[in-house]
Amino acid sequence: MFIVNSYSLAVVFCFITMMCWGSWGNTQKLASKSWRYELFYWDYVIGMLLFSLVISFTMGSFGQEGRPFLEDLVQVKMSNVLSVIIGGVIFNASNILLSASTSIAGLSVAFPLGVGLSLVLGVIINYIGAPKGDPVVLFIGVALIVVAIICNGIASGKVQKSSDEDKAASRKGIMLAIVAGVLMSLFYRFVAKAMDLNDFAHPAEGMLTPYSAIFIFSVGVFLSNFIFNTFVMRHPFVGEPVSYKAYFSGSLKTHLVGVLGGVQLHRFRQGRSSRILRIGPGRSYDCSDLGCVHLERIQRRLQERLRTALRHVPVLHSRPRLHNSFRRKLMSGTIKRYIHQIK
């Protein structure tokens, strides 16, 4: 199987992970134009399961080091399988709550808060379980991220101007994000417990390699989704109940957006597992969740720039000979969709 043996390559995987973990929420936002998050989440989970199979039969099966995927599954102890499945169940519960929070409070509020709590608690829990790296540098970094999350929350509160009903819904979304963050910080220890984190090339008997763990983890997420997501579909946090009939009536394009979200998230999981041996669970957790905060900040800045540009629209309409090319682009379907999102 493929193993990251270079520290510099492990850092590269960190940046790839940042991009994947920080951007999967945008697929939910994209699908939400015509798709409830409960329906999106089924495609998301299917995407996770499919990608885990692809990555296991490719990167997890080729190479000279470690145990191949199928050989690893045959020899694993049942106690380790159950541990990883429990991790998948906990993660699924937290991620459904995070998706619900995103649909209620918005991406810019739910993600920094939920993932930020997961970051802080996850780094502490994982560092205690496997202390690697300089704790002073690590926790200074965590403290800076906490400050960034607080500043993001303050900025969001000042920008948002809504009615009392909207504020009540926002508070519900914030509470869901907090619960999601706490749960998300707990799942990884169950997964790490089943892997030989000290030697991926020659793992101990009965333990899992990262690729096998990702697959079993995905199975746990998929199976628990029949319970968690079915309950949320019948008893939604906001809006009317939805049925499975609505899911099967969705377009192929909408389903593929959800699958893409699951693939992005699992690329994040695979990247984290692959680099743990080099940089340790604590820093791995720190780097991956940090990406979400940075990408969210970039998105907010781009939206602010677009709002500024739209202030000049009346001028362009009153003087049609100026910047005709810009006017055509502005009135195109793509820009219209962006305008609709930020109003």
2 falls within a domain: no
**pLDDT confidence of residue 311:** 58
**What does the chain come to in residues?**
343
Q: Above 90 in pLDDT, residue 341?
A: no
Same domain, 67 and 216: yes
Same domain, 155 and 249: yes
pLDDT bucket at 287, cuts 50 / 70 / 90: very low
Q: Measuring CA to CA, which residue among 61, 8, 65, 16 is closest to residue 214?
A: 61
Output the six-digit token pair for 249.
């009536």
Same domain, 195 and 340: no
| Overall average pLDDT of the 260-274 stretch | 61
Cα–Cα dist 198/200, whole Å: 7
What crossing angle do the helices spanning 252-279 and 37-57 adopt, rounded to 10°?
A: 50
**pLDDT confidence of residue 25:** 67
pLDDT bucket at 179, cuts 50 / 70 / 90: very high
Q: Above 60 in pLDDT, residue 263?
A: yes
Quick count: other Cβ atoms within 10 Å of Cβ 335? 16
Same domain, 168 and 265: yes
What does the pLDDT look like over 112-160, one tens digit per residue? 788 888 888 888 887 787 777 778 888 887 888 788 777 777 776 666 6
1 falls within a domain: no
**8 Å CB contact between 24 and 232:** no
Same domain, 251 and 332: no
Same domain, 291 and 342: no
What are 195's strand-pairing partners? Answer: 208
Three-state secondary structure call for residue 256: helix
Average pLDDT over the chain, rounded to an integer:
76
- Which domain does 317 fall in, by range? 312-343
**pLDDT confidence of residue 161:** 55
Same domain, 160 and 241: yes
Output the six-digit token pair for 244.
């499975």
Q: Above 60 in pLDDT, residue 188?
A: yes
Cα–Cα dist 222/42, whole Å: 9
181 falls within a domain: yes
Same domain, 102 and 237: yes
What does the pLDDT look like over 87-110, one tens digit per residue? 999 999 998 998 888 888 877 778
Domain count, the chain: 2
Cα–Cα dist 146/215, whole Å: 32
Same domain, 302 and 319: no
